[in-house]
Amino acid sequence: MLDPRLTLAIVLALGASLALLVWVLFTRGAPVTRPETLRFRCPFKRRDVTVEFRENAWDGALLEVRSCDVFAPPTAVACDRGCLHLPALPPAAARAA
């Protein structure tokens, strides 16, 4: 039978190792993303656009512009992607019925 102090030391070491592993995986690993398609008024092109973003699944931050219907083809995004840095996306104009 092991000494209780040795058992405690082993359990604490394993727990610390597991906590470190989880921290490394969630902070140093690739972000978990999801596609998000939004329609808004582009203040740079001065028109309504439909844009597909890559969005951080944890905090909703917009990470990348995948496509924008201003460009042909939509995946050939040729702007500085200023919409990623806006605090909020301007709403699109109301569509006529």
Query: How many structural domains does the chain have?
Result: 2
Residue 47 lies in a domain: yes
| Residue 2 shares a structural domain with residue 37 | no
| Residue 42 shares a structural domain with residue 17 | no
| Residue 40 shares a structural domain with residue 76 | yes
- The pTM for the full model equals 0.67
| Residue 23 shares a structural domain with residue 45 | no
| Residue 63 shares a structural domain with residue 79 | yes
Domain that holds residue 12: 1-30
pLDDT tens for 61-92 read 999 999 999 999 999 999 999 999 999 999 99
Q: Are 50 and 69 in contact (CB under 8 A)?
A: yes
* Helix count and strand count (H, E) for the chain: 1, 3
Q: What share of the chain has pLDDT > 70, as a percent?
A: 97
Residue 97 has pLDDT above 60, yes or no: no
DSSP secondary-structure letter at 91?
P
